[in-house]
């Protein structure tokens, strides 16, 4: 066993597995810029090492794989017109794309809380394991943001309007619903993980993706749909629109308990964030690659970083925790096409580029 321990990230070889462990358990393994850089270095090493047959991503502690990015630090940079957003999201999104095309089987163990940046590190993996404890969400619209890290690409490929629903409401998926939404591949009970993990460290050199899938499926429950999947017909009827005003109207018209609860949830979100999210989700439906969506997300993220809504959303949720943001503008109908345009505009020399 060779080991490199770099504080917030552990990267080591265990048998045939290159193990990457997010190591900030007190922060539910929230990822920092340095951690993204250390993951990239670990992938360089594991890709070049013929003894490493598979990659295993996991989180330290009992609470979850990763609660997202280091939002507080981004908020502090945004307040002083800093450039952390530009740097961090560029490196993070390039890493997300690298994970999707990584040449060796990359197994993500998505136990407990998996949100935001944690989704970017796991849901683009070749093999995505959720558990009986998984709580996966992309709640960024509640921060005046949108589901990034390739989230718009993933959500746009969920069945029907399930992705639109999860992207706009930020509601939580359990393990089976994450599979239904195409964010994961297999439910493995958390109690079985140690045995499966041990088996993954003993695979042979040159193991195929199919072999790894068979191994994982031997531990899996076979579940493929959770409670939200059962609501797909009503979700499709209520969220099958390209304008937020039409979604709100449909929810009000429907008047069911589910529709009214959903309306209450949406009324707490950033109107601007919802409009940007819906537009990016619709554009992602025709994207030919993850990279195409990440380029769009990067343009929008830089505009978000400059916005009052982002600072206000983070303040209300993370800093002061009063859960009472003052959005600008305060209503969906006040979000104009002129407000939306900068989130979609090309950004010249700052465009996101992939190797």
Residue carrying structure tokens 């990267």: 11
User: For residue 230, how many C-alpha atoms fall within 13 Å in the half-sphere facing its CB?
Assistant: 5
Q: What's the CA gap between 4 and 58, in Å, rounded? A: 16
Tell how far CA 227 is from the center of its chain.
Answer: 20
User: For residue 120, how many C-alpha atoms fall within 13 Å in the half-sphere facing its CB?
Assistant: 30
State yes or no: is 49 an active-site residue: no
State yes or no: is 15 an active-site residue: no
Query: Would you say 161 and 235 are in contact if contact means Cβ atoms under 8 Å apart?
Result: yes
Catalytic residue among 8, 92, 140, 185: 140
Q: What's the CA gap between 261 and 267, in Å, rounded? A: 10
Catalytic residue among 38, 58, 92, 148: 148
Find the angle CA(182)-CA(122)-CA(267) to the nearest 5 degrees. Answer: 65
N- to C-terminal Cα separation, the chain: 31
Query: Would you say 275 and 335 are in contact if contact means Cβ atoms under 8 Å apart?
Result: yes
C-alpha closest to that of 268 among 224, 213, 326, 320: 326
User: For residue 156, how many C-alpha atoms fall within 13 Å in the half-sphere facing its CB?
Assistant: 24
Catalytic residue among 117, 150, 151, 163: 117
Q: What's the CA gap between 312 and 55, in Å, rounded? A: 38
- Please list the residues that pair with 57 across neighbouring strands: 20, 108
State yes or no: is 34 an active-site residue: no
Catalytic residue among 64, 69, 142, 226: 69
Which H or E run contains 3? Answer: strand 2-6
State yes or no: is 69 an active-site residue: yes
Catalytic residues: 69, 117, 140, 148
């Amino acid at each position: 066993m060779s080991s490199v321990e770099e504080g917030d990230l552990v990267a080591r070889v265990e048998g045939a597995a290159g193990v990457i462990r997010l190591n900030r358990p007190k922060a539910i393994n929230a990822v920092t810029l340095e951690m993204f850089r250390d993951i990239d270095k670990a992938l360089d090493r594991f890709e070049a090492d013929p003894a490493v047959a598979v990659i295993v991503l996991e989180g330290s502690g009992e609470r979850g794989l990763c609660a997202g990015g280091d939002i507080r630090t981004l908020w502090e940079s945004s307040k002083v017109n800093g450039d952390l957003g530009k740097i961090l999201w560029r490196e993070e999104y390039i890493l997300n794309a690298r994970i999707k095309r990584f040449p060796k089987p990359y197994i993500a163990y998505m136990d407990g809380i998996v949100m935001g940046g944690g989704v970017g590190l796991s849901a683009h993996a070749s093999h995505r394991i959720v558990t009986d404890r998984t709580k996966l969400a992309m709640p960024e619209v509640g921060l005046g943001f949108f589901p990034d890290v390739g989230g718009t690409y993933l959500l746009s490929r969920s069945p029907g309007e399930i992705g639109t629903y999860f992207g706009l409401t930020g509601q939580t998926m359990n393990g089976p619903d994450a599979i239904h939404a195409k964010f994961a591949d297999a439910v493995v009970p958390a109690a079985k993980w140690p045995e499966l993990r041990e088996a993954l460290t003993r695979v042979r050199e040159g193991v195929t993706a199919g072999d790894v899938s068979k191994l994982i499926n031997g531990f899996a429950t076979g579940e493929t749909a959770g409670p939200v999947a059962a609501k797909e017909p009503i979700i499709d009827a209520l969220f099958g629109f390209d304008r937020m005003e039409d979604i709100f109207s449909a929810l009000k018209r429907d008047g069911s308990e589910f529709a009214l609860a959903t309306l209450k949830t949406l009324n707490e979100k950033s109107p601007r964030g919802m409009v940007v999210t819906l537009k990016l989700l619709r554009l992602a439906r025709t994207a030919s690659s993850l990279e195409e969506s990440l380029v769009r997300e990067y343009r929008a993220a830089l505009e978000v970083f400059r916005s009052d809504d982002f600072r206000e959303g983070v303040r209300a949720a993370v800093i002061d925790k009063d859960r009472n943001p003052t959005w600008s503008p305060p209503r969906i109908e006040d979000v104009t096409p002129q407000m939306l345009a900068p989130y979609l505009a090309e950004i010249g020399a700052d465009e996101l580029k992939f190797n």
